[in-house]
């Protein structure tokens, strides 16, 4: 599955009066709105196509060298992490075919090789990659929902017949659940009361993903024996069709903010 296009997050709203050595003024492009932060590093660069842009960044120091680049949108980074780990899981599934000690082609059962640690490395990697994909995908959605909500937005939350008005700070607190943001809050933000109902299929898949992420992170051990301790949660993880969920995630984000994912 192809990764998505990353985009820079913080670009200047203002264009300082700067010229090149030949006296030509530097042209700036406002790619995204942002608030001015303290201790910013302002950098002016020329892209391959000749376009000149101004961006802000924090530096990375390694082995006495300082590296500078635009800050990417973390939502895109997290979503790409989910896609990458999904791709790794598919490649690992292919490896299982060549890692068997017993093949029964008649009924399609293949017993994997057992290593010195009494597990199978490729099977372990499959679980790891799917686990990391699920965690990254849900985290990208959580970050996205917080990102698209304007700072001055007021959410009218109705519970038990009473309505409260919540500002951005309270929206990002435990007072508003992930599932509530996914549906009721976005309905209000878009001024489309039927948005979540019209997109119930993809929201349903996202909700299942979120529930699985909770199980995977907490991995509760309330079981009668050790064999059943994680069996249900890991089973759900192995069975989930991540490609469908990734496509639903992208579709949901672009429904709210067109062309956010390219």
Q: Tens digit of pLDDT for each residue in 86-102?
A: 999 999 999 998 899 88
Give CA separation, 228 vs 173, 181, 222, in Å. 34, 34, 9
Question: In the numeric block, which tokens belong to residue 10?
Answer: 């913080």
Q: Is residue 52 part of a domain?
A: yes
Domain assignment of residue 224, yes or no: yes
User: In 3D, which of 7, 2, 11, 1 has the Cα closest to residue 259?
Assistant: 7
Angstrom distances, CA of residue 61 to CA of 13, 44, 45, 66, 198: 27, 20, 20, 4, 48
**Shortest CA distance to 261 belongs to which of 123, 80, 67?**
80
Of the three residues 42, 72, 102, the one that is the final residue of a domain is 72
Question: Does residue 94 share a domain with residue 56?
Answer: no
Residue 58 lies in a domain: yes
Same domain, 126 and 229: yes
Residue 261, in any domain of the structure: no
Classify strands 109-112 and 41-46 as parallel, antiparallel or unpaired. unpaired
Instruction: Compute the distance between CA of residue 196 and CA of residue 185 in angstroms, rounded to an integer.
Output: 10
Same domain membership, residue 68 and residue 117: no
Measure the CA–CA gap between 15 and 30, rounded to whole angstroms: 8
Examine residue 31 and state whether it is found in any structural domain, yes or no: yes
pLDDT recorded at residue 87: 97
Q: How far apart are CA 204 and CA 225, in angstroms?
A: 32
Task: Let me know whether 61 and 23 are in one domain.
Answer: yes
Q: Is residue 172 part of a domain?
A: yes
Render pLDDT for 58-76 as a digit per residue (tens, 0 to 9).
778 899 998 887 788 899 9
Residue 39 exposure: Cα atoms within 13 Å on the Cβ side: 2
Question: pLDDT tens digit string along 157-199?
Answer: 999 899 999 999 999 999 999 999 999 999 999 999 999 999 9
Structure-token pair, residue 19: 């010229």
Segment 3-47, tens digit of pLDDT: 998 887 654 444 455 555 566 765 655 444 445 554 556 677 777
Question: What mean pLDDT is reported for the chain?
Answer: 86
- 44 and 159 belong to one structural domain: no
Model pLDDT, residue 31: 43
How many domains are there within the chain? 2
Band of pLDDT at residue 107, cut at 50, 70 and 90: confident
Same domain, 124 and 222: yes
Same domain, 93 and 49: no
| Domain residue limits at 79 | 74-256
The label of the residue with tokens 């009473």 reads: 162
pTM (2 decimals)?
0.82
Asked if pLDDT for residue 246 goes beyond 70, the answer is yes
Predicted pLDDT at 231: 84
Residues ≥6 apart with Cβ < 8 Å to 132: 81, 82, 85
Residues 5, 102 within the same domain = no
Is 40 inside a domain boundary?
A: yes
Share of the chain above pLDDT 70, in %: 82
Domain boundary among 57, 72, 87: 72
Q: Is the pLDDT of residue 153 over 80?
A: yes
Of the candidates 37, 54, 72, which is a domain's last residue? 72
Both 93 and 213 in a single domain? yes
Helices marked H in 97-230? 121-148, 168-171, 178-180, 186-190, 195-198, 200-218
Residue 135 within a domain: yes
Residues 79 and 175 in one domain: yes
Is 232 found in the same domain as 165? yes
Q: What is the pLDDT of residue 22?
A: 65
Q: Give phi and psi for 226, each to the nearest 5.
A: -65, -30
CA distance 97 to 99: 6
Tell me: do 78 and 7 sit in the same domain: no
């Amino acid at each position: 599955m192809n990764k998505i296009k990353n985009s820079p997050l913080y670009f200047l709203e203002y264009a300082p009066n700067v010229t090149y050595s030949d006296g030509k003024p530097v042209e700036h492009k406002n790619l995204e709105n942002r608030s001015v932060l303290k201790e910013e590093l302002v950098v002016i660069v020329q892209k391959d196509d000749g376009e000149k842009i101004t961006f802000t960044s924090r530096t990375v120091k390694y082995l006495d060298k300082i590296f500078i680049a635009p800050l990417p949108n973390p939502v895109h980074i997290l979503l790409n992490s989910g896609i990458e780990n999904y791709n790794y899981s598919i490649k690992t599934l292919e490896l299982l075919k060549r890692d068997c000690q017993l093949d029964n082609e008649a009924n399609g059962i293949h017993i994997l090789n057992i290593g010195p640690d009494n597990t199978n490395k490729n099977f372990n990697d499959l679980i790891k990659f799917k686990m990391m994909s699920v965690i990254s995908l849900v985290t990208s959605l959580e970050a996205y929902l917080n990102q698209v909500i304007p700072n001055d937005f007021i959410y009218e939350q109705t519970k038990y017949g009473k309505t409260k008005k919540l500002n951005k700070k309270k929206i990002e607190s435990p007072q508003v659940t992930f599932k509530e943001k996914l549906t009721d809050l976005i309905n209000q933000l878009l001024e489309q009361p039927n948005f979540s109902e019209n997109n119930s299929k993809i929201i349903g898949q996202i909700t299942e993903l979120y529930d699985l992420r909770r199980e995977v992170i907490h991995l509760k051990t309330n079981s009668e024996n050790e064999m059943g301790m994680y069996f249900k949660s890991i089973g759900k993880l192995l069975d989930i069709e991540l490609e469908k969920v990734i496509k639903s995630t992208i579709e949901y984000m672009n429904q709210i903010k067109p062309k956010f994912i390219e």
